[in-house]
Structure 1
Amino acid sequence: MSRESMEYDVVIVGAGPSGLSTAIRLKQLAEKAGRELSVCVVEKGSEVGAHILSGAVIEPRALNELFPDWKERGAPLNTPVTEDHFMLLSEKGARKLPTPPQMHNEGNYIISLGNFCRWLGEQAEALGVEIYPGFAAAEVLFDEAGAVRGIATGDMGVTRNGEPGPNYQQGMELHARQTVFSEGCRGSLTKGLMARYDLRRDADPQTYGIGIKELWEVDPAVHRPGLTVHTAGWPLKSDTYGGSFLYHLEGNLVSVGFVVGLDYSNPWLSPYEEFQRFKTHPEIRKYFEGGRRVSYGARALSEGGFQSLPKLTFPGGMLVGDTAGFLNVPKIKGTHMSMKSGIEAAAALFAHLTADDAKTTEVTGYPERLKASWLWDELYSVRNVRPSFRWGLWGGIAYSAIDTFLFRGRAPWTLRNHADHTQLKKAADCEQIVYPKPDGKISFDRLSSVFISATNHEEEQPCHLRLKNPLTPIVTNLADFEAPEQRYCPAGVYEIVREEQGPRLQINAQNCLHCKTCDIKDPTQNIDWAVPEGSGGPNYPNM
């Protein structure tokens, strides 16, 4: 049975900052030129912003380009940064250090990225962009010549055994002259496109971190709107990259988060437990005592930077935002870069789609526009900071100071990145980490955390976490690494169940936060994360 189809000039996969900025700028350019362009955005979350997660402090540089009058339009940038603190933690103490220059936040704002994306969605719809939340792009469509010709949304109402259920609804095909992939970090369709078009042939492997975040309503006596606090050090050992953030928003709200580089080597390490332990530090705990935890979430982020950027275009499509890897790691910011990539993509797309003599389906003008923009210079200048932490915390800090102040980001070399899944050591060769039990006041267990993320999946749908080889979790992961998926997953999705006939891996897919960590860190790359049924997953309020 053939699927229904709809035709557009441009289809955009993902309603994050990059995808919505692409859509908005396309419509702005078309309106200015008196041209008609049909633009559609599909979003797997139940609403725009439902799956978006970030700290977040936004640098409004790209927003100023997109909407110079954003204040008059009511953009939800309500809390300007007033103080920056950077601390080095030991188990019981804290030392205040000079704030690194990239982390100065004068002129920036503490925001809810979900609310910001909801606002961007409203601006896009006012310009005539069609946005369809709750529809997951599950398949890339290709024409006879091998160029991308759009996407198909996933079928709804499919039972666990893959058969149509009583509420079955077939997915739709959305055909486009150009398709923009803005899926965020480790996009499932983007991963397939990388392989099909060999987009990484001239790039380093991407390297990632996992960011885990909670939103708290705190005692007004300890609330300081506009305060940002970043830490390094405890509870992580010096050979593991990572750190924390605390951002004081308006309304007695504080977002607190912890990032662990996924190139860590000890399979006993649990990023979730490190985060919970971090909150018990005296300098951190004081903000949350007597407070109330409002929400929880987790998301992987692309940390490879300049040298890990893939080829950005291919016949019929392009990559924007964090799915390509536009994140300034030393700044701990990617929203402004994602938006800028979307703005430049839109300009190149518009020129391509309105040209009378377009002879190719590949928008080669897009990377050229990026290379001439401030985004390219900014990303290039910090390219060596993140990979320098392979020498540990102290080596990374020392090198970063030299690179920043002496070479000013123009060192005559580029440090290389490595694939995170290759970095785990055997469990027998590593020190086991024993984490304290949660107290239910400052620290919490995973299942109570997943509960307040409002995560929901249709229970009867097929499992969206697919094993290439069902034997590998036991014969390799458990035998060699003590099943690290039990610890790197921040939602309790993976569980080793020990039965009379032997251990087996149980996948609790209904808990999945869509962070993609399993797809990244699995040492044998045996786990393939695919989109579940549309609107499934977390529903983040104010995150």
Structure 2
Amino acid sequence: MQRESMEFDVVVVGGGPAGLSAAIRLRQLAMVEGRELSVCLVEKGAEVGAHIMSGAVFEPSALNELFPDWRNMGAPLNTPVQSDEIFYLSCSHRSIRVPGVFAPSTMHNNGNYIVSLGNVCRWLGQQAETLGVDVFPGFPASDVLYDEEGRVRGVVTADMGVGRTGEQKGGFTPGIELIGKQTVFAEGCRGHLGKQLISKYSLDAECDPQHYGLGIKEVWEIPAEQHVPGLVIHSTGWPLSESATQGGAFMYHLEDGTVVIGQVVDLNYRNPHLSPFDEFQQLKHHPLYEQYLRGGSRISYGARAIAKGGLQSLPKMHFPGGLLIGCDAGTLNFAKIKGSHTAMKSGLLAADTIYEALAVNQSAGQDLAAYAEKFRASSIYDELYQQRNFGPAMHRFGNLVGAVYSWVDLNLLKGKLPWTFHDKRPDYSTMATADWAPVIHYPKPDNVLSFDKTSSVYLSNTNHEEDQPCHLTLRDSSVPIAFNLPTYAEPAQRYCPAGVYEVVEDASASRFQINAQNCLHCKTCDIKDPSQNIIWRAPEGGGGPNYTSM
């Protein structure tokens, strides 16, 4: 197929904090020195920020580097954290407040802000365009382009106007080849191109498997008398403790009477009957959270996997012709429950490395090993090294004992213990068989505090062109019914927070149905399927959620 091609000095894939920071810094450096440097950024969402979802308590350290005058520039950081509260939920109606002195020091939020990360990225996108970055929203990068020597030479965007069976429809438009001397991959957690690059170049040969959590979040408007701007609440325990599942919950009070509430479920859970969505719906009935939500209205819903393996799970991040940055590599600091500042910092390091390399040698396809040196000498490495045992300790000892260990490690010893824990077991391999695990019976939603998946997905503004090839494919179409159903009661029906997967009972047999139009792009299926049979790829441009204020 003949494709149009466009050449740039640098191609950035992904309009999240990491990719935007890299693109902006590259243009800043070029403008200071008066050099010509062309940068383009492609984003699969209909607009920059449309697919961004995070808690989010935002640490502004990297933003301070990128835009020291961000306050006067109108950056949407409007609600400074005023107070931190941490609770252990012992059951469905009791909670125990953890004194601040006993909380891990990494969870203290002095100087941080409660934000909509989607709005922050929208603002960063505006700054990028002002600085001369060519920003192309609605253009997912579908494949990596390689030269004859196996070096990355860019990406190709997805074809538009392809029918369900692969035929070209009337409005067919072929994807465009975006060629760069360097290509920066910043797709976020479990990026589908990042996953391919890790495999092709064996970037994970010397690291632990990546570990993940599924974050589910809602935005509510609540009565003024229940709103406490700047209040941050974290909790662990119920309801996840009842199924021996690890994770935690959060509520953040923003401005204008809005709060966000969410839960992160570790994807190493064992019980195939567990439904992260229904666990979250239960959580909102706990008095700790109900006191704020009662009388309010839910205005948005979303879900996204997060990479939480930390330092031990970081792959090699450089390869011929490109870099892997941000959550595409797994730079989130799970002990802080924050990844935006580390993603942004990784983008700044990537930009500095690329700029310096191109100033010396303009040839394409260089393997920028200097990035690894900059990363190791940076604040990201220091953070991730300090908290390196936090996640593995939780997996090894459980939430309570793991928390005690982490308090000693982080608060007293500042992460300087002379050992490093490892967790070599991938999350998809931890699931027990259905006949061993107890069935979990979840209460029906009351449509006041708890809701069903259908009404929730509606609030995410998710939309996909239905007449297109399904972006969720199976390596073997027989596996869901022939193996996953009898062995694990086909857990895709429950781990997906959007109702994408169903087992439909026809008159003669069971049938596995994929409702791809519901997909929130959370990537949980690609991560947790015990048979590793589901492959997520980017759909036609602009498809997926269209989050507001997430």
Work out whether the TM-score is over 0.5.
Answer: yes
User: 1:512 is matched by which residue type in structure 2?
Assistant: C
Q: What percent identity do the matched residue pairs reach?
A: 56
- Alpha-carbon distance, 1:358 to partner: 6.6
Q: Corresponding residue for 1:400?
A: 406
Q: TM-score, normalised by structure 2?
A: 0.98
1:532 to 530, 536, 539: 539
Is the aligned partner of 1:248 residue 2:253? yes
After superposition, residues 212-361 of structure 1 pair within 5 angstroms as 212-237=216-241, 239-356=244-361, 361=366
Contact 2:273–2:438 (8 Å) recurs in 1? yes
Q: Corresponding residue for 2:43?
A: 43
Contact 1:322–1:334 (8 Å) recurs in 2? yes
User: 2:37 is matched by which residue type in structure 1?
Assistant: L
- Alpha-carbon distance, 1:359 to partner: 9.6
Q: Corresponding residue for 2:418?
A: 412
Q: d(CA) in 2 for partners of 1:166 and 1:373? A: 51
Contact 1:58–1:335 (8 Å) recurs in 2? yes
SS at match of 2:240: coil
Contact 1:268–1:433 (8 Å) recurs in 2? yes
Q: Corresponding residue for 1:33?
A: 33
Q: d(CA) in 1 for partners of 2:206 and 2:482? A: 34
Q: Corresponding residue for 2:161?
A: 157
- Alpha-carbon distance, 1:234 to partner: 0.3
Contact 1:178–1:317 (8 Å) recurs in 2? yes
Structure 1 regions of 5+ residues with no counterpart? none
Q: d(CA) in 2 for partners of 1:377 and 1:358? A: 33
User: 1:453 is matched by which residue type in structure 2?
Assistant: S
Q: d(CA) in 2 for partners of 1:43 and 1:134? A: 6
Q: Corresponding residue for 2:132?
A: 128
Q: d(CA) in 2 for partners of 1:263 and 1:529? A: 19
Deviation string 1:337-391 (CA, Å, 9 cap, x unpaired) is 0000000110000001111487971111111111111111011100101111122
Q: d(CA) in 2 for partners of 1:356 and 1:181? A: 21
Structure 2 regions of 5+ residues with no counterpart? none
Is the aligned partner of 1:427 residue 2:434? yes
Q: d(CA) in 1 for partners of 2:312 and 2:288? A: 36
- Alpha-carbon distance, 1:128 to partner: 0.3
User: 1:131 is matched by which residue type in structure 2?
Assistant: V
Is the aligned partner of 1:476 residue 2:480? no
Q: Corresponding residue for 1:64?
A: 64
- Alpha-carbon distance, 1:406 to partner: 4.1
- Alpha-carbon distance, 1:53 to partner: 0.2
Q: d(CA) in 2 for partners of 1:127 and 1:405? A: 42
Q: Corresponding residue for 2:99?
A: 98
Is the aligned partner of 1:505 residue 2:509? no
Q: d(CA) in 1 for partners of 2:379 and 2:503? A: 48
Q: d(CA) in 1 for partners of 2:361 and 2:163? A: 48
SS at match of 1:350: helix
SS at match of 2:352: helix
SS at match of 2:398: helix
The RMSD of aligned alpha carbons is 1.1
Contact 1:352–1:358 (8 Å) recurs in 2? no
Deviation string 1:48-106 (CA, Å, 9 cap, x unpaired) is 00000000011000000111000011100000000000001122111100232111111
Taking a change above 3 Å as real, the CA distance of residues 165 and 398 of structure 1, as seen in their structure-2 partners, is same
SS at match of 1:237: helix
Q: Corresponding residue for 2:529?
A: 522
Deviates more, 1:484-493 or 1:347-356: 347-356
Q: d(CA) in 2 for partners of 1:432 and 1:412? A: 42
Deviation string 1:436-489 (CA, Å, 9 cap, x unpaired) is 000001000000000010000001011100000000001111010001000000
SS at match of 1:427: coil
Deviation string 1:245-281 (CA, Å, 9 cap, x unpaired) is 1000000000110000000001011100000000000
Q: TM-score, normalised by structure 1?
A: 0.99
Deviation string 1:21-64 (CA, Å, 9 cap, x unpaired) is 00011011111111110000000000000000000011000000
User: 1:528 is matched by which residue type in structure 2?
Assistant: I
Matched positions, count:
543
